[in-house]
Amino acid sequence: NRELAERIAKTFVDGIIAKDFDEDARSVLANKKDLRLLALPDIYEHDHGEHGWEIKSVRGGILLAERYVSQTVTRDDILVRSEHQPSPEMLDAALLQWCVLGYVRSNAAVFGDDKVTYGVGSGQGSRVDAIRNALEHAAERSPYYTSWAANQDKELVLATDGFPPETDSIEACAKYSVKGFLSPIGSIKDKAVYERGVELGLVMLTTKSNERPFTHR
């Protein structure tokens, strides 16, 4: 609608995919040069429990891969590992960041609250580099994070797509006021990472499915 279109028009975007655009929204967005609108009326109507398939090109042929669909969709799908208990807002933040994480190239890390993703670390050679990139880029460049840091009225959650290999991942999160840490478990360093997180006051989270939302493109 017009209200959302006006908010989007304040920043640079190449394209917008939505269920539909009303006439007022189209008139606002028509003023944006080279902006492409794609209306997909049934975008939310498919059964997302069905994975479907993706086709990727490889040298000399194609690769047919099952599409990743997260099994983590409600607060009940998040497991709390530590004695520190999350608020409902923190659980919602964890769900949002996990959703975003599934579209970020591994090694991946994202963090934010229950409304916004502030930082994204994508395609890094190590997991701690991805986490540091997400945190540092947000602190340096994100007006949303700057606004949050001034008020600290949100509970930030960082989600990463694999096992934290060392405690330095947790320490980086604590430095930037992250309160919740969401990741799969199964690393030989899990105990050390968990204990360090508890020591720093983080709520340690994982998913019931213990899935790893890989995106390799």
Per-residue pLDDT reduced to its tens digit, 162-180: 888 789 889 999 888 899 9
Per-residue pLDDT reduced to its tens digit, 132-141: 999 988 887 7
Please tell me the pTM assigned to this model: 0.78
pLDDT at 116: 87
Confidence tier at 148 by pLDDT (50, 70, 90): low
Which residue is associated with the tokens 């790893």?
Answer: 212
Q: How far apart are CA 64 and CA 66, in angstroms?
A: 7
Q: How far apart are CA 191 and CA 185, in angstroms?
A: 10
